[in-house]
Structure formats: structure tokens, C-alpha cells
Amino acid sequence: MSSNQIALKNLVSMEHLTNEEVMALIKRGIEFKNGAKVHYDEQHIVANLFFESSTRTHKAFEVAELKLGCDLLDFDVKTSSVNKGETLYDTILTMSALGVDVCVIRHPEVDYYKELIESPTITTSIVNGGDGSGQHPSQSLLDLMTIYQEFGHFDGLKVAIAGDLDHSRVAKSNMQILKRLGAELFFAGPDEWRSAEFADYGKFVTIDEVIDQVDVMMFLRVQHERHDYNSIFSKENYHKLHGLTQERYDRMKDNAILMHPAPVNRDVEIADHLVEAPKSRIVEQMTNGVFVRMAIIEAVLKGRN
């Protein structure tokens, strides 16, 4: 058994993980990427319940579960009793009663998981696939895996997170754990999209102030679906002021990397032709997402035993 195999009852927030657990999940993800296999004698049933649109997270969990040999229980929000007014609690209560081992859930309500993991009746394990603008632990872990593969450490790294900060669960998950692991953080983007909480974790800057200093330049998607615009949004103006242009890309350090949780609004956060540029690790992030999610599911299944 690998020393990086850990046991977790649920995985809902980066705040609930110790630094040791985070590093074990990253390293186990790397082991899976390098070809590690796991064999279960018993049947494990997993349901993926996505109440918000998703390609990368949803399908990466599915691929991870299939690679682990899990049985996937089909769940389609459009044809479920949610359309009859069934609450999330009662949906998960049903899954638990049916014998589902793990429910991976994405839901628009922040902290939706609290009543689920506190319930004495619900016995299925919960993995948070994203809660509103709250947390996105699996995305954070795949980001950390990508950074760790590149640099081999976090302590002392300079990381800039730029864009739609307030609406980004990725930004919030990453800033908490990266600061804990010793990285130096910078935040950039429109003033109206960043709240005071970010000041507790790093320094507010403009992209042009730090683009040539940071080791990791992480852009965030402009989340149009979470905005109530008072004026017409101009993607050209946003890109010019806050996005990665060719000129800014050229100023990045030779060994610096470009990251984005995707989907990328091309020519908004990042110039279209730079999404797959040599310094970009965006495709690598997606690949790593499968393997770190294998580590997550394995840890939660182990926690059930």
C-alpha cells in the first residue's frame, strides 16, 4: 500500500484538510498518473449529481471513477424528482438509502453540504464538486498538483490570481491552501470584483506590476452567469486592462507557468493563441484533474472502511 493513501469521511472544503492530507492527495494523484493501479474486491457505487453545468469537473470525476472500477449510478437533474420540488437533502437521503457509497455534488448554494454531512441518517460520503461561489476543493487540488509537478514545492513561490475574484470558488480554495503551504500571493483584477477578505491572504496589485515577478500566473474565468451588470461588459476593454496579452506573456519569467481553471473565455482572460502556449499548463491541469480525483475517491472509499 502506498504511504500516500489516506482515509477521509467526506471531502467538502480545503479548510477541512490538513497540510499533510493535501500533500498525500497530490502525491497519490502523481502515483496514479505514473500508472499506479488499485483493485477493489467489493462493489462501489458512485453518483455524480451536478445541479450546475460542468464539463471538466463532471467528466473528470466520471473518468476517475471508471479508472478505479467503480459502478456509476446515472443521475440526470432534468429527469429527477428535483423537478417535482424534491430538496437536495431528500435527494441525497434517497441515494443513501439505495446504498450509494459516494455522491459527488455540484450545487449553486454555498455550503450546501453542511446539513448533509451533519445528518445522522445520511450515510453516503459527500465529495464537493463546487458550491456556488464557495469552495471547489478538487479543482484546487489539481491546481496544486500541477504547481507541485512543476516546482516540487510551494514554500516561497510567488503566485498571482487574477480576474473575477469575488465570484470564484477556485480563488477562495486556492488562496487558503497556498498561503498555508507557504506561497506568497498577489491578487489582480477589477476593483469592484474583489472583497476585503482577499487582503488577509495576499496583496492587491495590477497584473503589470507582477507579471514579470511571479512563478505562477493564474487567471480566472469571468463568470457572466453570476453577474448583474450595471453597464455593458466589453470583452475588448477587459482583455486590455486585465487579461493576458502577448506583451504581458512575453514579460513572464522563462520558468513561470500560466494557469486557468477553464473554460477560458478566449480573448477575454487570455488571448486565444496563448491558451496552448509553451508556458501554459491549462491542458495539463485538465489531465491532472482525473488523477487527483482518483486520489480523492480512493481516500473517501477508504474512509468508509
User: What does the domain layout of the chain look like in residue ranges?
Assistant: 14-136+287-304, 139-285
Q: From residue 119, how far is each of 10, 105, 113, 302 by CA, in Å?
A: 13, 16, 10, 20
Q: What is the pLDDT of residue 131?
A: 94
Express each pLDDT in 28-74 by its tens digit: 999 999 999 999 999 999 999 999 989 999 999 999 999 999 999 99
User: Average pLDDT for residues 142-146, to the nearest whole number?
Assistant: 98
The whole-angstrom separation of Cα 259 and Cα 221 is 11
Tens-digit pLDDT profile for residues 207-260: 999 999 999 999 999 875 555 655 556 889 999 999 999 999 999 999 999 999
Give just the sign of the alpha carbon dihedral 167, 173, 179, 184: negative
User: Starting from the edge strand earliest in sequence, which strands make up the sheet with 257-259, in order?
Assistant: 203-204, 184-188, 158-162, 216-219, 257-259
Binding-site members for carbamoyl phosphate are: 56-57, 106, 136, 139, 262-263
pLDDT digits (tens, 9 = 90+) for 158-196: 999 999 898 888 898 999 999 999 999 999 998 888 888
Domains 14-136+287-304 and 139-285 share a fold: yes
Q: Look at the domain 139-285 and name its fold.
A: Rossmann fold (3.40.50)
Cα separation, 48 vs 76, whole angstroms: 9
Residue 78 pLDDT:
86
User: CB atoms < 10 A from the CB of 113, how many?
Assistant: 24
* Per-residue model confidence as pLDDT tens digits over 253-284: 999 999 999 999 999 999 999 999 999 999 99
Average pLDDT of every residue of the chain:
94
Q: What is the CA radius of gyration of the chain?
A: 19
Burial 232-265 (b: 16+ CB within 10 A, else e): eeeeeebbeebbbbeebbeebeeebbbbbbbebb
Positions at the binding site: 56-57, 84, 106, 136, 139, 169, 221, 262-263
Provide the whole-model pTM: 0.94
| Cβ partners under 8 Å of residue 7, min gap 6 | 299, 302, 303, 305
CA distance 57 to 126: 15
- β-sheet with 45-50: strand ranges across: 71-73, 45-50, 102-107, 125-131
The predicted pLDDT at position 194 comes to: 83
Alpha carbon of residue 248 to chain centroid: 25
Q: How far is CA 13 from the centre of its chain?
A: 10
Nearest to 128 by CA among 28, 21, 15, 219: 15
Q: What is the pLDDT of residues 89-111, one digit of tens each?
A: 999 999 999 999 999 999 999 99
Cis ω for the linkage preceding 263 (within 30 of 0): yes
Q: Which residues are annotated as a binding site for L-aspartate?
A: 84, 169, 221
Q: Which CATH class for the 14-136+287-304 domain? A: alpha beta
For CA atoms 293, 294, 295, 296, give the dihedral sign.
Answer: positive
Contact 192, 242 (CB under 8 A): no
As a whole number of Å, the end-to-end CA separation of the chain is 15
Q: Are 244 and 220 in contact (CB under 8 A)?
A: no
Residues 68-91, buried b or exposed e (16+ Cβ, 10 A)?
A: bebeebebeeeeeebeeeeebeeb
